[in-house]
Structure 1
Amino acid sequence: MAKPVSTALQIGLVAVALATAVALVAYFSFPAYFEMAQMLFPQASETDALWSWLDWGYLLLTLLIALPLGAIGGAWLSRRIVVPLLEVARAIRAVAAGDLTARANPSIQGFGESARLVADFNAMAERLERAEAELRFSNSAAAHELRTPLTILKGRLQGVADGVFALDDDLIDLLIAQVDGMTRIVEDLRTLGLFNAGSLELSVTNVDLALIARDVTDLSAEALQARSMTLSLDLRSSPVLADAARFRQVLLALIDNAMRYAPGTRLTIATGLEHVTAVLTITDSGPGLTDAALRQGFEPFWRDEESRARDKGGSGLGLSVVRAIVHAHDGQVRLHNAPGGGASVTITLPARIPD
């Protein structure tokens, strides 16, 4: 794609073109004007006064030709500069009034900067509209996620107040579980909000992903056994600068995700170094990820096969939080299907190279 010529350069080129056109008109029309003057005034002597009169007449004729050319060129030039600006101003007023679908007309032709202004504004407006839609969806989804535990809490507490339910240990455990679920949702939303605002605080220290993975798997061993999952570890030293607590959160979320959607399978966790990159991979031997999950798995509140996923629990925020924490560490995370089958999550971070 050719680089657009700047507005200043194009204005200069137009001015040079107009000046050249006027000069050519003046140069080539002078002989014809002189011959015509001789034919019309053959008796006129070549006096200073006569030639002064002829000169003024020639100047007037030149102006009659040059002024329309200049006016046409100026109008064309101003249209190419001003009209895109007016169109962007119209769209800005529409967006300010609440119409996030407003766009500047991209078919309006302008010079370099004004044409780029139209394109840049439309790109910004599209991102703003998408962000607004995502915000509305997130608010609606968060309310929906919180409604279920709140309904259970209200119903059970109302039942206790009415004497329908006895406040025994089982009911207390159920109520605590609902509160814990809401706490996780709120904390996940807080983490995402802080990341999106660029305010996610990290306590970065020298850590080894292999040691973090071993600690988390030791804590999760009983839960994995309850889900009939076998654990395979390939932990090689992977020194990084990271927030250890946040990466424990990442690993717990990924293990929890595997237990929910691939119970009874083998879970493999591996760490290692590839050149100057630390790599953490978690792979299960389950059915793998659908194309939709590969594309949208990190989106907040997104679930594959929504109705069945809800039966398996989870808020749909786990992978979004994982991505936020990894990106906050200048890392990358991706979903993919393992060559031998199963879902796999690979996290890469800049490795800490010893001095």
Structure 2
Amino acid sequence: MRMKLAATAAAALAALPLSASADGEVNIYSYRQAFLLEPLLEAFEKETGIESNVVFAKKGLAERLEREGRNSPADVVMTVDISRINELVERDLVEGVETDTLNQNIPENLRHPEGKWYALTTRGRLIFASKERVEKGEISTYEDLADEKWDDRICTRSGKHPYNIALFSSMIAHHGEEKTEQWLEGVKDNLARKPQGGDRDQIKAIAEGVCDLSIGNSYYYGKMLEDENQRPIAEQVFLVFPNAEGRGTHVNISGIALTKSAPNKENAIKLMEFLSSPEAQRIYAEANFEYPANPDIQPSGIVAEWGEINPDDLSLQEIAENRNAAVKLVDRVDYDGE
């Protein structure tokens, strides 16, 4: 396969003048790491003969698209969070796409109402609980995190991290701002330490006895189990799928959007359709311990062993629209403060 990669943020944003006119190519700007895309793009080229060029960056792709304007070589953007993909919509950088294939493969709540983005995989925002200090069934909902019984027993990363903002946005959608603010104050009161680190750091804190509960994306748990050094730490917690018996567990997405400047639009749409297909959904989900966005495809491997997830069917677009309100609530309750 002749897939071209720019694998560092600096190189991605400063160089790699992708060909904007070559036939049989598709140019991808990606927040998703290149090694996760490689098996997908190999399968895509094998099926279609279309080669892929990938720019990977941790940040700044929206700004790059704005700077390049209609001369941008990018055909699609792939993201790892609903807020990042919605940023492209808000900046008017992406174009709506609607095809029978995409609409059949991706549920309505996991795509933009006008086809400006489509989810490719989902991940649950789960509760991780100490096997030693928490009984199974003792906590079952996000709402429970504010119960005073968990005083000084919860660890989380920053409240302003996009993954937490998405969760808080979903709480606003379900409960309104006033009740969500009260809930968030309760969660803050129950924190064992100031928010810090990433999702895996919270599991480590549980193993070290700093706290008994944490919030994290499901795929981080899979990554820890895969790592022989981190596996003993991960094995000290069990998973809770919050609200599984009610509205369902909050999920976030990795997604894809067609740029307005796409010089290879037809190839880009073929890629989008391929990535929603059963074959690609299996490859993509397995590569990062995620759930397929296509509901006809079941999770496999370690993810399947965790048990069935009942995802909240709330529109991800509605969650994105509550983002600013969620950020204000985090500031108002001083969630990241001492």
Query: Which category of TM-score, normalised to the shorter sequence, fits these structures?
Result: under 0.3
Q: TM-score, normalised by structure 1?
A: 0.20
Instruction: Name the one with the larger helix percent.
Output: 1
Higher relative contact order (CA 8 A, sep 6+): 2
